[in-house]
Amino acid sequence: DAGVIQSPRHEVTEMGQEVTLRCKPISGHDYLFWYRQTMMRGLELLIYFNNNVPIDDSGMPEDRFSAKMPNASFSTLKIQPSEPRDSAVYFCASSLAGSGEVTDTQYFGPGTRLTVL
Amino acid sequence: LAKTTQPISMDSYEGQEVNITCSHNNIATNDYITWYQQFPSQGPRFIIQGYKTKVTNEVASLFIPADRKSSTLSLPRVSLSDTAVYYCLVEMNTGFQKLVFGTGTRLLVSP
């Protein structure tokens, strides 16, 4: 298996532009997570899905952020409009929660490094 | 605000045992405690997971007291390649966000 795939790996954009980050989870996994990592705030959960349904989006910073999972093999995280403070590494992760536990082993993608100028 | 705290950094030498503790006072009663390792420019990678008492695998041990308000990751004989940042991940009982990563511990292993 190729693991969790994220694209792009790097994104540089200007303030006000729309940014779309993409994730392909490991086939067969039930959960998909979006995280943001910065030096100041560490690793933060933004949103997670179970069987394509958003379960907890309390970590989404504000209305400028949105996430979708139209099917089991694809998810997007969109920022519109982007701001310099959105600069961070965004990770996607997936898990096969066979026991039904949300903290079951997560497999992380390589991340997307976003820079908003 | 639900918090999950760890020491910021630790130093060790090759061959030593390293213990990293995570405090999670408001942990949910029915979910795993999981530890991850992260190298620069990579996503976190699973190390070990447990619910209570002690769990051991080929790379680490995890000690969890009965009240589950803390957990300790034990790396038995570290090598230079264990230099990384280590995170605990728990589900909290309170706070606006339930799934919380610890603040991370940067481990530096020297020859």
pLDDT at residue A62 in the model? 84
Q: Tell whether the model's pLDDT for residue B93 goes beyond 80.
A: no
Q: Tell whether the model's pLDDT for residue B96 goes beyond 70.
A: no
* Chain B residue at shortest CA distance from A59: B97
- Could you tell me the CA-to-CA distances from A63 to A22, A36, A60 in Å, in that order? 19, 16, 8
| Contact status, residue B45 vs residue A108, Cβ threshold 8 Å | yes
For all residues of chain B together, what is the average pLDDT? 90
Would an 8 Å CB–CB cutoff place A57 in contact with chain B? no
Neighbours of B32 (CB within 10 A): 22
CA distance A81 to chain B (A): 24
For residue range B3-42, list pLDDT tens digits in order: 789 999 999 999 999 999 999 887 877 778 999 999 999 9
Q: Tell whether the model's pLDDT for residue B97 goes beyond 70.
A: no
Flag the least confident range among A22-26, A52-56, B90-94: B90-94
pLDDT at residue A1 in the model? 66
CB contact under 8 A, A43 and B104: yes
Provide, rounded to the nearest whole percent, the portion of chain A with pLDDT above 90. 79
Provide, rounded to the nearest whole percent, the portion of chain B with pLDDT above 90. 70
Neighbours of A50 (CB within 10 A): 16
- Could you tell me the CA-to-CA distances from A45 to A33, A36, A42, A55, B19 in Å, in that order? 7, 7, 10, 12, 26
